[in-house]
């Protein structure tokens, strides 16, 4: 697989390590009433779709950036690559 | 029809005209007591034991393709019970015992071959860990034997013992482990279930569930609606996609695992050998091909095919362990979709929905579990209580922090 890095261009997926579903960006608020329940879902439950999947890849042997890659789990085709920091900021996070 | 040596001779003398199909091809009925989704090893074994062990009837197995087309026909056929943790070892030992009597039980030659599984160790720390694992196996009635380097060398002289980085320091041997002809397991269970009245319905994909007031009534399929009192889901790698149709999120990710077979060679490898310094395992099939594999590719996938970096990694590990493997040509390779759970251990449990039961999370080790998985799932479906060897395989272990994490790597499915 080739991941089209937003800054560095097309890079071999071997340069990256895979973490999992991009929902891992949305760490729940530890001080919420139902934090236990939220963390259970956050840490252990997954949508695991057959089709488009937004997922986190770390450019370990490159610029060490975290990327959100949109990839089809049925074909492995990658349709979109964004910086995770950008995605997080768009979602209202400070960093 | 019972299979036997006598039957083969009789058929040979009468022109082989007496053989019949091993199972029927029935039309689905409108309603069953039990519907099992997934005609893999686990689904078929569940139906078989429901009928044979628990005396149930009106059972159907629904399979979207053909039986044996999933992981049960794609795995590298290794069986063993060399686990460490209490939640796992009694279950896998129960499974190994069932394998030992399986062929007589379902009257089918599954080529169960207890040729031994040898896990190699390459460091002092690994020797400590294997000693502990061997002791845990003994405590649960399994066999395990610690070998030193000389004993390993005697068994398998062709390995690379003097690898500077990963010298072979010994091994943990389970002689009762081995290999089984995987397709024959699906066929044997299918035939055994069919003989006991189970309807095996192929080309029948479950596309949805019909529910009222939190109770499941039946399934929508590509061959129409089928009602059921109890529904058991045993679809391995497709667990996430299927259970999403019942609005269930699972502690599971689907990943692709590849397997490889070389051209046929003269008998070289007697049992199963696993490399302890990388992920590589190899055995030799009765046809002579070296059957081997290694790590999962490591990203979510439903594609049933993997990528080249993993091929390279597996072959490098093979070369590090037994350099002569480099002379063999690769004949075939393929992928299967693993239901990788969050702690690397399976789930056999009820769901939040009344009448809907779940069996999955087998990772890359569910073939050896097939008999016990079928038995325990049948136990749960028939009695609504877990079998004594499967009490830990619950959904709520994640909520309660009671993980069964053999490797201790945490909620990271691609590392299990
Ligand atoms: C390459 C590889 C090597 C492996 N090596 C080993 C090994 O050496 N030892 C070991 O113990 N394990 C091994 N495994 C794991 C083992 O094969 C699996 O854990 C086990 O087979 C899963 O259970 P099953 O047989 O029921 O799955 P499957 O055979 O995959 O059965 C699931 C069935 O459900 C069907 N299905 C899916 N969705 C639907 C639907 N909506 N409606 C109807 N039917 C549906 C599928 O078509 C499939 O036939 C390996 C797996 C792979 C891929």
pTM given for the model: 0.97
CA angle (B334 as vertex; B305, A2 as ends), nearest 5: 35
Asked whether the beta carbons of residue B414 and residue A18 sit closer than 8 angstroms, the reply is yes
Which residues in chain B are contacts of A19 at CB distance < 8 A?
412
Asked whether the beta carbons of residue B414 and residue A47 sit closer than 8 angstroms, the reply is no
Candidates A41, A55, A75; nearest CB to B303: A75
Structural domains in chain A (count): 1
Same topology between domain B22-81+83-108+182-251+343-415 and domain B117-176+254-341? no
The pLDDT assigned to A94 comes to 81
Tokens encoding A71:
């990839």
Please name every residue paired with B34 in a beta bridge, in sequence order, or none if there are none.
B59, B230
**The CATH number of the domain where A62 resides is what?**
3.30.2270.10
Fold entry, domain B117-176+254-341: D-Amino Acid Oxidase; Chain A, domain 2 (3.30.9)
For A12-21, write each residue's pLDDT tens digit. 999 999 999 9
Compute the distance between CA of residue B96 and CA of residue B82 in angstroms, rounded to an integer: 10
CB crowding A41-75: b at 16 or more within 10 Å, else e: beebbbebbbeebbbbbbbeebeebbbbbebbbbe
Q: What is the mean predicted confidence (pLDDT) over A31-44?
A: 96
Phi, psi at residue B145, to the nearest 5°?
-140, 125
Q: Are B293 and B258 within 8 A, CB to CB?
A: yes
The pLDDT assigned to B47 comes to 98
Mean pLDDT of chain B: 97
Give the SS3 label for residue B174.
strand
Compute the distance between CA of residue B254 and CA of residue B246 in angstroms, rounded to an integer: 18
Asked if B287 is an interface residue toward chain A (Cβ–Cβ < 8 A), one would say: no
Rounded to a whole number, what is the largest CA-CA distance in chain B?
66
Q: Characterize the bridge pairing of strands A9-12 and A2-5.
A: antiparallel
Q: Which residues line ligand 1 (CB under 6 A)?
A: B 37-43, 62-65, 69-72, 74-78, 205-206, 234-238, 242, 257-259, 293, 336, 362, 364-368
Give the Cβ contact number of residue B407 at 10 Å.
11
The pLDDT assigned to B362 comes to 97
The distance of B112 to chain A (nearest Cα, Å) reads 34
Compute the distance between CA of residue B210 and CA of residue B355 in angstroms, rounded to an integer: 11
Nearest CA to ligand 1 atom 48: B70
Provide DSSP, B18-77. Answer: ----SS--PPPPSEEEEEEE--SHHHHHHHHHHHHTT---SEEEE-SS-TT-SGGGTS--
Candidates B303, B342, B411; nearest CB to A73: B303
The interface predicted TM-score of the complex, written ipTM, equals 0.96
Asked whether the beta carbons of residue B300 and residue A53 sit closer than 8 angstroms, the reply is yes
For B359-384, write each residue's pLDDT tens digit. 999 999 999 999 999 999 999 999 99
Closest to B118 (Cα-Cα) out of B270, B272, B283, B276: B272
The distance of B296 to chain A (nearest Cα, Å) reads 12
Please name every residue paired with A66 in a beta bridge, in sequence order, or none if there are none.
A58
CA angle (B294 as vertex; B235, B144 as ends), nearest 5: 90
The pLDDT assigned to B16 comes to 95
Tokens encoding B27:
């039309």
Is the pLDDT at A95 greater than 90, yes or no? no
Interface test with A, best of B238, B249, B302 (most A CBs within 10 A): B302
Is the pLDDT at B390 greater than 80, yes or no? yes
Locate the domains of chain B by residue range: 22-81+83-108+182-251+343-415, 117-176+254-341
CATH class of B22-81+83-108+182-251+343-415: alpha beta
Q: How confident is the model at residue A93 (pLDDT cuts 50, 70, 90)?
A: confident
Sign of the torsion angle spanned by Cα atoms B150, B156, B158, B161: negative
- Residue A95: inside a domain: no
- Residue A44: inside a domain: yes
For B246-305, write each residue's pLDDT tens digit. 999 999 999 999 999 999 999 999 999 999 999 999 999 999 999 999 999 999 999 999
Compute the distance between CA of residue A17 and CA of residue B324 in angstroms, rounded to an integer: 31
Is the pLDDT at A36 greater than 80, yes or no? yes
Q: What is the mean predicted confidence (pLDDT) over B191-207?
A: 98
Compute the distance between CA of residue B382 and CA of residue B396 in angstroms, rounded to an integer: 21
Ligand 1 center from residue B229 Cα (angstroms): 25
Measured between CA atoms, the residue of chain B closest to residue A36 is: B399
Q: How confident is the model at residue A92 (pLDDT cuts 50, 70, 90)?
A: confident
Give the residue numbers spanning the domain of A41. Answer: 2-90
**How many alpha carbons lie under 13 Å from residue B75 in its C-beta half-sphere?**
29
- Residue A83: inside a domain: yes
Q: What is the mean predicted confidence (pLDDT) over B219-236?
A: 98
Q: How confident is the model at residue B99 (pLDDT cuts 50, 70, 90)?
A: very high
Q: Characterize the bridge pairing of strands B206-212 and B215-221.
A: antiparallel
Q: Characterize the bridge pairing of strands B199-201 and B178-179.
A: unpaired
Give the SS3 label for residue B406.
coil
Give the SS3 label for residue B342.
coil
Please give the distance of CA B280 from its chain centroid, rounded to a whole number: 18
Compute the distance between CA of residue B17 and CA of residue B206 in angstroms, rounded to an integer: 37
Which residues in chain A are contacts of B399 at CB distance < 8 A?
40, 44
Candidates A14, A18, A44; nearest CB to B411: A44
Ligand 1 center from residue B163 Cα (angstroms): 36
């Amino acid at each position: 697989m080739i991941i089209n890095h937003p800054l560095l261009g097309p890079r071999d997926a071997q340069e990256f390590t895979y973490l999992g579903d991009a929902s891992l960006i949305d760490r729940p608020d530890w001080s919420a009433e139902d934090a236990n329940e939220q963390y259970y879902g956050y840490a252990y439950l997954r949508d695991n779709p057959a089709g488009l999947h937004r997922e986190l890849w770390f450019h370990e042997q490159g610029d060490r950036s975290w990327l959100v890659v949109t990839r089809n789990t049925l074909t492995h085709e990658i349709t979109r690559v964004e910086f995770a920091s950008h995605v997080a900021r768009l979602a209202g996070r400070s960093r | 029809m019972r299979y036997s040596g006598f039957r083969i001779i009789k058929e040979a003398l009468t022109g082989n005209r007496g053989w019949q199909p091993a199972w029927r091809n029935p039309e689905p009925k409108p309603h069953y007591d039990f519907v099992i989704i997934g005609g893999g090893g686990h689904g078929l074994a569940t139906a078989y034991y429901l009928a044979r062990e628990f005396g149930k009837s009106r059972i159907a197995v629904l399979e979207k393709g053909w039986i044996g087309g999933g992981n049960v026909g794609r795995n590298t056929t290794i069986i063993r019970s060399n686990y460490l943790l209490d939640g796992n070892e009694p279950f896998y030992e129960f499974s190994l015992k069932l394998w030992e009597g399986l062929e007589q039980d379902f009257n089918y030659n599954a080529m169960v071959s207890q040729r031994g599984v040898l896990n190699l160790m390459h460091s002092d720390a690994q020797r400590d860990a294997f000693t502990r694992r061997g002791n845990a196996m003994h405590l649960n009635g399994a066999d395990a034997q610690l070998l030193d380097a000389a004993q390993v060398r005697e068994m398998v002289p062709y390995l690379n013992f003097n690898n500077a980085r990963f010298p072979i320091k010994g091994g943990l041997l389970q002689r009762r482990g081995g290999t089984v002809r995987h397709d024959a397991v699906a066929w044997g269970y299918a035939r055994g279930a069919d003989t006991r009245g189970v309807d095996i319905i192929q080309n029948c994909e479950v596309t949805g569930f019909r529910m009222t007031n939190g109770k499941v009534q039946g399934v929508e399929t590509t061959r129409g609606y089928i009602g059921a009192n109890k529904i058991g889901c045993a679809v391995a790698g497709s667990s996430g996609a299927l259970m999403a149709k019942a609005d269930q999120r699972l502690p599971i990710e689907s990943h692709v695992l590849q397997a490889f077979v070389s051209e046929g060679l003269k008998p070289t490898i007697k049992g199963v050998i696993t490399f302890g310094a990388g992920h590589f395992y190899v055995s030799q099939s009765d046809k002579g091909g070296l059957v081997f594999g290694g790590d999962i590719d490591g990203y979510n996938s439903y594609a049933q095919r993997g990528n080249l970096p993993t091929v390279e990694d597996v072959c490098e590990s093979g070369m590090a362990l037994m350099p002569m493997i480099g002379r063999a040509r690769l004949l075939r390779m393929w992928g299967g979709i693993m239901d990788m759970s969050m702690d690397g251990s399976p789930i056999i449990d009820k769901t939040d929905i009344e009448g809907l039961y779940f069996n999955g999370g087998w990772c890359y080790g569910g073939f050896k579990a097939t008999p016990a998985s079928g038995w325990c799932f049948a136990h749960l479906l028939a009695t609504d209580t877990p079998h004594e060897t499967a009490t830990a395989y619950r959904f709520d272990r994640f909520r309660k922090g009671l993980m069964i994490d053999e490797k201790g790597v945490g909620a990271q499915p691609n590392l299990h």
